[in-house]
Chain A
Amino acid sequence: GNSVTQMEGPVTLSEEAFLTINCTYTATGYPSLFWYVQYPGEGLQLLLKATKADDKGSNKGFEATYRKETTSFHLEKGSVQVSDSAVYFCALSDGGTSYGKLTFGQGTILTVHP
């Protein structure tokens, strides 16, 4: 079946540091890949997505590239802010008969200190 593995957390950074959160996946077919963010006490918000190999998703300074050869979708940001502190989830949605069903990783807690 499908699965998503994220790097172990939590991650603690100083403001303006570089961020990488690793994500690898296992899926049949050609999945779409997503990063969602969850702020304290809130639901999930879509941060960025990529629907085919070599696509780069980007939003709010975050970016991730769909790497089919390494089955990865690592999240990066060049300079984090305190307001980026949240839980980040990597997810995939397979095609075929599984449209709309998201498979999530376990989440990575990011804390950014001033």
Chain B
Amino acid sequence: DAGVTQSPTHLIKTRGQQVTLRCSPKSGHDTVSWYQQALGQGPQFIFQYYEEEERQRGNFPDRFSGHQFPNYSSELNVNALLLGDSALYLCASSVGQSRNEAFFGQGTRLTVV
């Protein structure tokens, strides 16, 4: 079992550009959540996808959008990048919308210059 896999591992973008991050959930998981972890901080919930729809959203602007595919994999898109978007982006997968354990990927380190 490969667990939750994210790509790329590291990414450097210029302010104003757009970026797409990818996540493949753990086998058997159908729910994907995205988190932003700034340096020295705890992860902050961005949004959650289930059945290819955004089900919950945290306090993030519309520049942050996502998608879930029929195979349950997911993308996180960020438009008009700001320096403050530099962070570790974590994907977590789980089963359904329940209290089941969420498994995290290793994250994508995004640096905006």
Interface residues of A (CB under 8 A from B): 4, 32, 36, 41-46, 49, 51, 89, 91, 93, 95, 97-107
Contact = CB atoms under 8 A, between A and B. Distances in A.
Given A102-B45, A105-B42, A107-B41, 9 more contacts: A32-B99, A43-B4, A46-B101, A46-B102, A93-B99, A97-B56, A100-B94, A100-B98, A101-B56
B42 to A, nearest CB: 3
A89 to B, nearest CB: 5
B90 A43 contact: yes
Q: Is the interface of B mostly helix, strand, loop or mixed?
A: loop
Given A97-B56, A101-B33, A43 B99 contact: no
Contact of B45 (A45, A89, A103, A105): A103
A100 B102 contact: yes
Interface of B: 4, 31, 33, 35, 40-45, 48, 56, 58, 90, 92, 94, 96-107
Contacts of A105: 42
Most B-side CB within 10 Å, residue of A49, A91, A99: A99
B101 A104 contact: no
B94 A43 contact: no
Which of B41, B97, B99, B105 neighbours the largest number of chain A CB atoms within 10 Å of its CB? B99
A44 B33 contact: no
B99 A95 contact: yes
Nearest to B105: A43
B98 A49 contact: no
Contacts of B92: 44, 102
A41 B43 CA distance: 15
Contact of A101 (B4, B48, B100, B103): B48
